[in-house]
Amino acid sequence: MNVRYRARALADLDDIFRFLNGRSPTGARNVLRSLADAIDSIGEHPLASPRTSDPDIRVKMLGRYRYKIFYSVAADEFVEIIHIRHAARRPWV
């Protein structure tokens, strides 16, 4: 299934990279690679992740790095990545 990104999700990826790159360029690349792999997995299995309190939004947890990827499935046409945030932050949905 095709994957699309909202502007917020793209900004999230940029913010994550800038934050981590200042501390560890290798770590930043590893996290972004893991996020990309998880998003690929979402595209392949869009209904595999649990729903949030909003039934239209699902969340995939990136275990090792503790990031949450919030997304929606648009009528079996595409997946839209809405927001990406670290699990240590206060809940979003």
- Read off the pLDDT of residues 2-14 as tens digits, 9 standing for 90 and up: 999 999 999 999 9
pTM of this structure: 0.91
Which residue type occupies 46? P
6 within a domain of the structure (yes/no): yes
Read off the CATH number of the domain in which 76 is found: 3.30.2310.20
27 within a domain of the structure (yes/no): yes
Domain extent for 67: 2-86
80 within a domain of the structure (yes/no): yes
49 within a domain of the structure (yes/no): yes
91 within a domain of the structure (yes/no): no
Instruction: Look at residue 91 and tell me whether its pLDDT is greater than 90.
Output: no
93 within a domain of the structure (yes/no): no
Between the CA of residue 15 and those of 22, 27, 44, 51, 78, what are the distances in Å?
11, 14, 26, 25, 25
As a whole number of angstroms, the distance between CA 3 and CA 34 comes to 16
72 within a domain of the structure (yes/no): yes
pLDDT digits (tens, 9 = 90+) for 49-84: 999 999 999 999 998 899 999 999 987 789 999 999
92 within a domain of the structure (yes/no): no
Looking at the structure of the chain, the number of domains it has is 1
Q: What is the mean pLDDT of residues 23-49?
A: 96
